[in-house]
């Protein structure tokens, strides 16, 4: 329990300490003009209250990420607490906050255009293609998984019908102005997600559960089957650091009222997500403690995190828990999926300079986008999911390097982003050689050496970029 409580306290304290320090680093100006003011269009650039943008941002970035990822990450043991806490404070929240500030100061442009502006046209072209592919994968993942769950819970309606209903909702949500649907219902879902986490937190403190204490002996369990580096850092993404967040942040960067709101909306939302991930990692370790641990139990149920969510919530929170579980594993991914498609629309619109006030111009982008998404639903879900996690962290790495360049140009403390950028570059590089999804060398010295060599090469390219900027 002590390890869990300490990590929880550190996450909360970080918002008031490290978050404020990052405000100093990027020289926040509360009087500066923001996109929702000077670019107001009534569709995407719409000022909204701070509490509303926070809850929408939280739901946009969260989905099932801090739930499913945390449960799967709990298979590694208490070391998951460490990664969620350190990663959340110094990597994920920093990544979300600084990228959010950069977006606000660059008219709320899509992250792809920001990368092109700070890392060069070549990187921008790569990011445009890479991001749209990632967002399509996210959208498809969050079409299929909730449809499967709904079909199993409500057998009178087939999976095909659920797919059609979800896709229809996505299409409408992507087309409508941000304050008409997303701005009204998302805060409710966001509040429910927070309520679910707080309920489980109460269970942990008041119930008769044992949360494994982090020691040198149990720091990393099942090391033979689950190599810590790089796999843990890929498995737990949304609770620690996630590139998907940078694709979502432009939505709220276009809705904040001033720069001072950015810490609450972006840093605060990510810290909140880390807390949610920490709670789910803890409750899964505690709930399955007497049954041989999370890894053993999940192995008996096809590593199905959705099953674990339903089982834990139903057993600990009763009827309310069952309702919130459905919300967590169905509504949350749906709300992340629709904003994924919306972000893809905005990226394409920014690339081709297509204004989005006109309905038919939004439709021109949405129609082929959804056609591609529907086509991907016919591909084996396991194949789609297989590459999603790595793609997500690779995108985060690119954004971290973009932040480094931005801070370097601003003559600010770029080390706050450089150290995380170097770390994540190695994680993504080594995963290419370790994982069977790519080269498949396994956790061997050769795989880690090759990952290190690739990291050095990529770092050299970025150092040359900084050198040119400095001249």
Best-predicted range by mean pLDDT among 52-56, 331-335, 453-457? 453-457
Q: Residue 421 domain-assigned?
A: no
What's the average model confidence in pLDDT over 213-217?
A: 77
Q: How many domains does the chain have?
A: 1
Residue 225, in any domain of the structure: yes
The answer to whether the beta carbons of residues 365 and 345 sit under 8 Å apart is: yes
> Is the pLDDT score of 22 beyond 90?
yes
Is residue 87 one of the residues assigned to a domain?
yes
User: Using 50, 70 and 90 to split pLDDT, how confident is the model at 43?
Assistant: confident
* Average confidence score pLDDT of the chain: 86
- Say if residue 376's pLDDT is above 90: no
pLDDT of residue 88 exceeding 90, the answer is yes
Instruction: Give the pLDDT score at 66.
Output: 86
Query: Is the confidence at residue 222, as pLDDT, over 70?
Result: no
Residue 168 belongs to a domain: yes
Q: What digits encode the pLDDT tens for the residues 274-319?
A: 999 999 999 999 999 888 888 889 889 877 777 888 788 888 888 7
What is the structure's pLDDT at 134?
A: 81
- What is the mean pLDDT of the segment spanning 22-34? 95
Lowest average pLDDT, out of 179-193, 374-388, 429-443, goes to: 374-388
d(CA 116, CA 279): 37
Cβ atoms 336, 62 nearer than 8 A = yes
| pLDDT at residue number 261 | 97
- Which pLDDT belongs to residue 107? 93
- pLDDT score of 382 more than 60: no
What pLDDT shows up at residue 350?
78
Contacts 24+ apart (CB under 8 A), 82-86: 82/7, 82/214, 83/232, 83/233, 83/236, 83/240, 84/7, 84/236, 84/239, 84/240, 84/274, 84/277, 84/278, 84/281, 85/7, 85/10, 85/11, 85/274, 85/278
Examine residue 424 and state whether it is found in any structural domain, yes or no: no
Can you give the residue range of the structural domain that contains 154? 2-381
User: 3-state DSSP call for residue 35?
Assistant: helix
E-state strands within 203-291? none
- The reported pLDDT for the residue numbered 31 is 92
| Domain at 52, CATH number | 1.10.4160
What pLDDT shows up at residue 384? 62
Comparing 24-38, 316-330, 457-471, the range with the smallest average pLDDT is: 316-330
Cα torsion 321, 322, 327, 328: sign = positive
What are the E-state strand segments in 141-277? none
Residue 246 lies in a domain: yes
Residue 38 located in a structural domain = yes
- pLDDT for the residue numbered 178: 59
Q: Is residue 431 part of a domain?
A: no
Is the predicted pLDDT of residue 19 greater than 90, yes or no? yes
Question: How confident is residue 128, by pLDDT bands cut at 50, 70 and 90?
Answer: confident
């Amino acid at each position: 329990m002590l390890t869990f409580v300490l990590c929880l306290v550190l996450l909360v304290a970080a918002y008031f300490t490290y978050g404020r320090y990052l405000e100093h680093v990027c020289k926040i100006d509360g009087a500066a003009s923001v996109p929702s003011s000077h670019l107001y269009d009534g569709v995407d650039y719409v000022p909204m209250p701070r509490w509303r943008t926070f809850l929408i941002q939280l739901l946009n970035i969260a989905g099932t990420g801090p739930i499913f990822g945390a449960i799967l990450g709990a298979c590694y043991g208490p070391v998951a607490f460490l990664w969620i806490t350190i990663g959340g404070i110094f990597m994920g929240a920093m990544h979300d906050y600084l990228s959010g500030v950069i977006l606000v100061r660059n008219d709320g442009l899509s992250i792809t255009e920001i990368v092109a502006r700070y890392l060069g046209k070549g990187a921008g072209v790569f990011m445009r293609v890479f991001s749209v592919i990632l967002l399509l994968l996210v959208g498809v993942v969050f079409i299929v998984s909730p449809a499967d769950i709904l079909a199993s819970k409500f057998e009178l309606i087939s999976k095909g019908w659920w797919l059609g209903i979800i896709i229809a909702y996505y299409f409408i949500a992507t087309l409508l102005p941000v304050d008409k649907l997303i701005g009204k219902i998302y805060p409710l879902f966001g509040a429910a997600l927070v309520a679910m986490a707080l309920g489980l937190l109460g269970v942990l403190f008041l119930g008769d559960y044992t949360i494994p204490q982090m020691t040198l002996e149990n720091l990393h369990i099942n090391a033979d089957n689950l190599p810590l580096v790089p796999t843990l850092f890929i498995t737990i993404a949304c609770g620690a650091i996630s590139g998907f967040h940078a694709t979502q942040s432009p939505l709220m960067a276009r809705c904040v009222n001033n720069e001072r709101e950015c810490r609450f909306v972006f840093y605060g939302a990510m810290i909140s997500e880390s807390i949610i991930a920490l709670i789910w990692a803890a409750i899964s370790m505690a709930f399955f403690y007497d049954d041989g641990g999370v890894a053993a139990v999940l192995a008996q149920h096809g590593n199905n995190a959705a099953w674990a969510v339903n089982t834990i919530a139903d057993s600990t929170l009763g009827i309310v828990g069952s309702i919130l579980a459905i919300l967590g594993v169905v509504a949350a991914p749906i709300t992340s999926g629709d904003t994924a498609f919306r972000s893809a629309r905005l990226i394409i619109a920014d690339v081709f300079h297509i204004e989005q006030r006109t309905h038919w111009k939004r439709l021109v982008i949405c129609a082929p986008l959804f056609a591609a998404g529907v086509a991907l639903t016919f591909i084996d879900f396991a194949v789609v999911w297989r590459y999603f996690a790595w793609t997500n962290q690779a995108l985060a790495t690119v954004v971290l390097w973009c932040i480094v360049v931005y801070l370097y140009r601003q003559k600010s403390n770029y080390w706050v982003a450089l150290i995380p950028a170097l770390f994540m570059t190695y994680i993504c590089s080594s995963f290419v050689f370790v994982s069977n999804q790519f080269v498949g060398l396994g956790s061997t010295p050769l795989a880690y050496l090759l990952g290190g060599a690739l990291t050095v090469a990529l770092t050299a390219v970025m150092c040359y970029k900084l050198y040119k900027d400095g001249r």
